[in-house]
Structure 1
Amino acid sequence: MARQMLLQVFTLVLLLLPLLHCKNLLCFFMPVLEIQKEKNIEYTVTECLPKEVCFIGLGRYGNHTALSSRGCVPKERCSGQVNVRLKGTVHKMTYSCCDWQFCNSCSALRPSCIALTLLVIAVMVCGL
């Protein structure tokens, strides 16, 4: 019984260890795509440069949200708009930025929620 519990704790530590040793922020990357094409794409993990944060970018054309992208961006770009040209049309791209590992996934989890979830898993695994 104790050996099985030790193995479970060891597995949990191995799963979380890479996140503790990364010096730079890890985010999901997706190039600028039309919203309809985004549903069929698999995100790629990318490592941000120092002083960059994760973002989800939305490109608007008039009142219509037409483009989406994800990745890393300098913090300064989070507060503004950038014009992006795709297929001859100029879209206004705005960025929603965040600064924790994989925060630009499709779910809107906060670090406190992730920490609470990990705590519950640890308690369940360890049987505390």
Structure 2
Amino acid sequence: MNAGIDVMGLYVHDQDEALAFYVERLGFQVSTDVRNGSFRWLTVQHPEQPDVQLGLFKPGPPMQDAATAEALQALVAKGAMPPLVMRVKDCHASCAAFRAAGVEITQDPVERFGSVDAGFRDPSGNGWKLIQIRA
């Protein structure tokens, strides 16, 4: 029987750059950072969600062959991967804090469907949505 989701993977082109972005700019914490030869298992966690890890993975062996890794890198760089969603208490305040930390906001907060949402991208091109659900 499944116990639940533990790690959700995200492809990045530079793990050190991604680590700095998620920790220094978004406030995540390092969960795991281990190496096995050229392979690095790197995960971070949101401080308010310790049971879920976000894997910052570089495409390539042993997970993919070189051609697949190159294709994945191109898709990530184009912003073609599905966005991740982060629920926030105050979308306007979160955008302001992220912008002050040097995060590129790609969509300012917009009110719609009983919520407020905004967008940003990480250094690899992965899209994120910030969602504030209105009571």
Q: TM-score range by the shorter chain?
A: under 0.3
Structure index of larger Rg: 1
Task: Give 1 or 2: higher helix fraction.
Answer: 1
- What TM-score, normalized by structure 1, do the two folds share? 0.23
- What TM-score, normalized by structure 2, do the two folds share? 0.22
